[in-house]
Structure 1
Amino acid sequence: MVVLYDDIIFLIFDHIFDIKDRLQLLRVCRHWYGLLLPKVYESIRVEGNQAYGLVCSIQKNPEIGRSIRDLTLRWCYGHEANHKYSVEMFKDTLQQASPSIEHCTNWEKDLLNGEPDAWLALLTPSLEAVRSLELEYKGWSDYFFPMLARAAARQKPFDSKPCFQHLEWVRARNEHNKTTYYASEFLPLFHFPAMQVFSASSLCEEPYPNPLNISKPALGTSGITELDFGDCNSRNGMADYITSCANLEVFNYQHQNQAVWGEAYCNFHPLAFYPALYTQRHSLRVLRLNNNGEIYGLDRFVDDQDTEYSGFGSLAEFSQLRELRMLLRTLLQFGSNDQPAVSLLDVLPSSLEHLQLAGYCVEDFDVVLGNLQGMLAQRTERFPNLRRLEIQPVILERLASASFIGKDWSPYDIPKSVKQAFAPIKLACDELGIAFGFTKDGYNEIYDIGIALP
């Protein structure tokens, strides 16, 4: 029999991608089993109805749980017909992790019924080495997120297990656009010491009491450096998240008016973000504040306090800010008289390299032109690092040419009148070595149109 060196076995493994085929490699011999087990389970995706099998396997062989580094969990509901679920092996965990006898009884009942959320919660005590966690979920979590909170508080069964202590990156996304989730569910993540990046969509800062009674992280205690919120609804400017960071470097927030499962709506409140972001003025490098989200409110179900458009504050003290993408009227603090309260010279830091003015309307041209001219006139003294200027118009023209069919970008163009109006700014930028152009509004993405101005 030919003996394969371990390096050859690893090369074979790296060319096999299907999880079922990888699992078959564990059956070859004991040597292959011990060698490949950590690699087979290093990066896995678990559908909700697969959780039972994985939890039972880990219970029999804890090394499987200790091998998981990158984990994707999907809350798909439903289970195999006539499948029998056993909970005898997990009685101790249920009793330790349940805050009451009633909760323990309900949890056991849901486990026996094959509820994915109930079984996924039993995975958490085994995740000692997980580094990245991606959650694709829907609906309210009665078990998984409470277990996450217990892990953050080092309560039983996590008082003797270092679970999630190596977790660095978390992404949470919903399964359909009409679903929103409580922002407070994710506060436990900010207690884990290795966390660096948190990304989520469809979160809402609910006006209701904290459903899990989760303690807020202390100010400036989290090592998270990047926060990314897409299609979220914030009343309080995500303040609990932002202020918990010691040195936040990247903040992206895109707004949607829908909140609380479409039963209520809340407009974008830019001023609510400023106090929290101000605490990160020493470290923030990238700020994208609703440059691609919903700008205007709805006519129905909007609280009275939400109907007035709010301004923002100065970014002049944000000494590390390199990239800024923000609504024009937010940045210049347009008031009730429909006039700017400040200029770009007042609110921008000298460290800025990339500026995008989003939400540009034709009626704002004189304001934008005057501000950009004043900014470029003092480029050498005030903005020596400036390398790129972008305008993101609200109104675009659809291109009807058949040559765009099948292209991977939307067939839109900037109105010719807008291009011509900004020709002086482009010429000034060319002389200063600054790239100038337009961007297209997209779903959390920026598209460079690549226009040659006349």
Structure 2
Amino acid sequence: MVCSLQLPNDVLLLVGEHLENHGDRWKLIFISHHFHELFLSLVYRKARLNSWRDVYSFLCAITNRPSLARAVHELDLSSWQRKPIASEDWEVLRDSAILKDTVQISSYSGEETAQWEEHLAKGRGDAWIALTLPLLSQLRQLHLVYSTPTPCLDRSMQRAINGERPFQPRLVFQNLREVVLYHQEDLDQPAAQESAENGSDKHSPSFLLSFFQLSSLRSIVANSVVDPTSASQNPDSDAEQSDQLCSGFSSITDIDLRHSSGNHGMEALITSCADLKSFKYQHSDSHLASHGFQPTAFYRSLTRSKQTLQTLWLDHYGDHYPFTSAGLNQTHDEWFGSLAEFSALQELRIRLTNLLDIRYQTEPTTPLINCLPHSLETLYIEGCEERHVGTLVSQLQTVLKNRNSRFPHLRCLDIEGAFQNASAEELGDTRASASDPSDDTIKSKIMQAAEPLHEHCDSAGIELHVHDRAFSQNHAR
């Protein structure tokens, strides 16, 4: 006798949810008609769209079956390939009833319709996705590739915030928690090259401020952001949006800005957050509008969040040029200021010259013990020059001696700098093997200078890592 075991749909769905690979989930819908109906929504939960063909198929599917639109929780365009649509393909697309109706609903005038068609025909991801956003009421994560300027997306975002057509006022992005923005030109070619070739800086997306107005949003990651409070291509537009973002307006708690330039400390973004918990910033002088890294400007902006900020990464592996549009680049080595009053700060990642005021002297004007908050758990110090190792070790020893009373939560110390032994090639020794182990070890005098610190950390139960950024493996004791 053959016994067939039929699992309840709820159990089958739980099994399907444990399949993290999208391809495995896709295979499920071809097993049977029952599995197709059961798992199709699960397949659409995370939609990865890499081209206009993907978006058009996706748009057709969610238009014909609205339940699939409600199933979408994550929309990912991080691998978007921008290619103009061939004229014969565009002729067919433009006559498509679904695309025509969607564009018509999203347009308020013939001029807007023409602009939609122009940007869609160019294969721009921001325009194609702007068409689908009004349909995705359950969206939780959005990974978007954009090209500047972004008129179609700008309009869509503003109409979403205002609850205007084609968005339903009560359903607009009510579940959206995380947004990641990629600049298309940075994916196509290095930003420095792009800026040089175009002769202008095009990395100031006005729509970034629109996302800060979404009450559901908690986290935003963006690359190539030029400070909205600095001069831009459309200063009136940016100023108008900045005025709309009064202090403490936004619900965003995590900001991560990569390869960006904050001439004014990203003040408009930081001060708009009522409860900022994490701020990560990577500077780049490759943008033509950059005046160089301005540590004191970030200190002024972040002071407003000193009671809530838990994680601060300031200029993590940033790019600093000798000269910027403002002239000689000297500000990047300025002292950030004391963090002692940042009462919630647990993780700090910062360059040594911004942590300690040692720009023109060997000893800091303010000792490290007076620069760190009582709440600190992890301290990662970048860019330590060999000549400053002794000073830093001495300052950290004082911190460790006062750990019980001043820094009881401290658990981990990282020191990063140009500590690697010179390679045989750099030394001009052609006899040495390319795999000479001295090429990937830290200089002995660096390890000797750090030895007292190792002893203090061992006795205190604190992790200590001394390493060169070129190493894939941290050197720990």
What's the RMSD between the two structures over aligned residues?
3.4
* Cα deviation, residue 158, structure 1: 2.1
The residue type equivalent to 2:296 in the other structure is: L
Shift of the 439–194 alpha-carbon distance from structure 1 to 2, 3 Å rule, reads farther
Q: Secondary structure at the match of 1:207?
A: coil
Choose from 25, 34, 38 the match for 1:35.
38
Q: Distance in 2 between the 1:22 and 1:372 partners?
A: 54
Q: Is the 8 A contact 2:126 2:144 kept in 1?
A: no
User: Which aligned pairs between 1:299-378 and structure 2 lie closer than 5 A?
Assistant: 299=323, 301-304=324-327, 307-309=330-332, 310-334=334-358, 340-378=364-402
Moved more, 374-383 or 275-284: 374-383
Q: Is the 8 A contact 2:161 2:214 kept in 1?
A: yes
Q: Is the 8 A contact 1:69 1:130 kept in 2?
A: yes
Question: 2:464 maps to what in 1?
Answer: 436
Give the TM-score of the pair, scaled to structure 2: 0.80
| Match status 1:182 vs 2:237 | no
Choose from 80, 83, 88 the match for 1:82.
88
* Cα deviation, residue 47, structure 1: 1.9
Q: Distance in 2 between the 1:413 and 1:247 partners?
A: 43
Question: 1:46 maps to what in 2?
Answer: 49
The residue type equivalent to 2:325 in the other structure is: V
| Match status 1:172 vs 2:181 | yes
* Cα deviation, residue 233, structure 1: 1.8
Instruction: Select the structure that is richer in helix.
Output: 2
| Match status 1:278 vs 2:300 | no
* Cα deviation, residue 42, structure 1: 0.7
Q: Is the 8 A contact 1:75 1:138 kept in 2?
A: no
Shift of the 432–14 alpha-carbon distance from structure 1 to 2, 3 Å rule, reads closer
Shift of the 404–140 alpha-carbon distance from structure 1 to 2, 3 Å rule, reads farther
Shift of the 119–290 alpha-carbon distance from structure 1 to 2, 3 Å rule, reads closer
Question: 1:288 maps to what in 2?
Answer: 313
Q: Is the 8 A contact 1:250 1:286 kept in 2?
A: yes
Deviations 1:400-420 (A, max 9, x none): 776699xxxxx7432211111
Q: Is the 8 A contact 1:316 1:349 kept in 2?
A: yes
Shift of the 87–112 alpha-carbon distance from structure 1 to 2, 3 Å rule, reads farther
Choose from 47, 60, 69 the match for 2:73.
69
Moved more, 271-280 or 229-238: 229-238
Q: Distance in 2 between the 1:277 and 1:353 partners?
A: 19
Instruction: Select the structure that is richer in strand.
Output: 1
Q: Is the 8 A contact 1:286 1:322 kept in 2?
A: yes
Q: Secondary structure at the match of 2:414?
A: strand
* Cα deviation, residue 188, structure 1: 1.7
Shift of the 77–291 alpha-carbon distance from structure 1 to 2, 3 Å rule, reads closer
Question: 2:412 maps to what in 1?
Answer: 388
- Aligned residue pairs total 439
Question: 2:427 maps to what in 1?
Answer: none
| Match status 1:246 vs 2:253 | no
Q: Distance in 1 between the 2:412 and 2:30 partners?
A: 53
Deviations 1:198-251 (A, max 9, x none): 122222225211657545433223332222222222212222222222222222
Q: Distance in 2 between the 1:150 and 1:9 partners?
A: 40
Shift of the 26–121 alpha-carbon distance from structure 1 to 2, 3 Å rule, reads farther
Q: Distance in 1 between the 2:269 and 2:5 partners?
A: 54
* Cα deviation, residue 27, structure 1: 9.6
Shift of the 252–114 alpha-carbon distance from structure 1 to 2, 3 Å rule, reads closer
Shift of the 197–308 alpha-carbon distance from structure 1 to 2, 3 Å rule, reads closer
| Match status 1:131 vs 2:140 | yes
Q: Secondary structure at the match of 2:88?
A: coil
Q: Secondary structure at the match of 2:155?
A: helix
Choose from 199, 207, 222 the match for 1:200.
222
Deviations 1:248-298 (A, max 9, x none): 222211111111xxx45432111111122111111211211114223x433
* Cα deviation, residue 23, structure 1: 8.0
Structure 2, unaligned runs of 5 or more: 195-201, 425-432
Moved more, 132-141 or 40-49: 132-141
Deviations 1:323-360 (A, max 9, x none): 21111111123455676331112211111122222211
The residue type equivalent to 2:224 in the other structure is: S
Q: Secondary structure at the match of 2:465?
A: strand
Q: Is the 8 A contact 2:51 2:123 kept in 1?
A: no
* Cα deviation, residue 137, structure 1: 4.0
Give the TM-score of the pair, scaled to structure 1: 0.84
Q: Secondary structure at the match of 1:279?
A: helix
* Cα deviation, residue 167, structure 1: 0.6
* Cα deviation, residue 440, structure 1: 2.9
The residue type equivalent to 2:59 in the other structure is: V
Q: Secondary structure at the match of 2:410?
A: coil
* Cα deviation, residue 312, structure 1: 1.5
Deviations 1:31-69 (A, max 9, x none): 555433321211110123122222233222222211110
* Cα deviation, residue 8, structure 1: 6.8
Deviations 1:303-338 (A, max 9, x none): 138544432222111111112111111112345567
Q: Secondary structure at the match of 1:422?
A: helix
